[in-house]
Chain A
Amino acid sequence: QSVLTQPPSVSGAPGQRVTISCTGSSSNIGTGFAVHWYQQFLGMAPKLLIYGDSNRPSGVPDRFSGSKSGTSASLAITGLQAEDEADYYCQSYDSRLYAWVFGGGTRLTVL
């Protein structure tokens, strides 16, 4: 059971917009700790996609965006492309556990 909750899977057709939710609690996201998102292709290492709730590292397309409100955060992907098919993880810090925490991951399928 992950500290942060994500849907196991989402899907969308090319060109569509999808969102992935990440729900935490008052000891992590709700306390104000930033949420970060990672993209992981099958058999590869994770890659930082969004940091500090809504910032994109250099090289990440602006089709990817992040937001946060209360104890939840979301990753939105617009103009869906086949190459976006991957697993996506949210991550934050938990002040009660004194631990870096991840969501269980969401598999994105491009139909």
Chain B
Amino acid sequence: EVQLVESGGDLVQPGGSLRLSCAASGFTFASYSMSWVRQAPGKGLEWVAYISSSGSITYYADSVKGRFIISRDKAKNSMDLQLDSLRDEDTAVYYCARGGSNYAYSFDYWGQGTRVTVSS
């Protein structure tokens, strides 16, 4: 059974940093691209960052470019998101999602999410 479990969400002050993690199990992690998708309170879904199966290619939404860094560790079957220079508008539930096995541009499995609150 595919499982994605996020952790690391917390309350942080504006300008602060946080590191989110996503632990994957139930599938060959090294064979799939992964992404982070976030959802602000009462709002819709927003793609944040992508990392290829090998980890060699990364993409970011303009809203986080230069502030967030996505990475993965194939030995630990995990993916991280380093969040720096956090802003109020980064407050959201952050989901890790697996790139689709049939269509790589889709997300076929999602974690339960981890909450990030940016507030003074």
Contacts and interface: CB of A to CB of B under 8 A. Distances in A.
Interface of A: 2, 33-34, 36, 38, 40, 44-48, 51-52, 55, 57, 89, 91-93, 97-105
Given A51-B108, A105-B45, A100 B95 contact: no
Contacts, number: 67
A51 B47 contact: no
B106 A52 contact: yes
A37 to B, nearest CB: 9
Contact of A89 (B45, B103, B112): B45
B27 interface: no
9 contacts: A34-B103, A46-B45, A51-B102, A51-B108, A91-B106, A100-B37, A100-B47, A103-B44, A105-B44
Nearest to A57: B108
Interface of B: 35, 37, 44-47, 50, 59, 61-62, 95, 100, 102-103, 105-113
A104 B44 contact: yes
A111 to B, nearest CB: 23
A91 B37 CA distance: 12
A44 B109 CA distance: 13
A97 B59 CA distance: 11
| Interface SS, A side | strand
Contacts of B61: 99
A91 B107 contact: yes
A47 B50 contact: no
A101 B61 CA distance: 10
Given A33-B105, A93-B105, A99-B59, A48 B44 contact: no
A45 B103 contact: no
B102 A89 contact: no
Contacts of A92: 105
Contacts of B35: 100
A24 B111 CA distance: 27
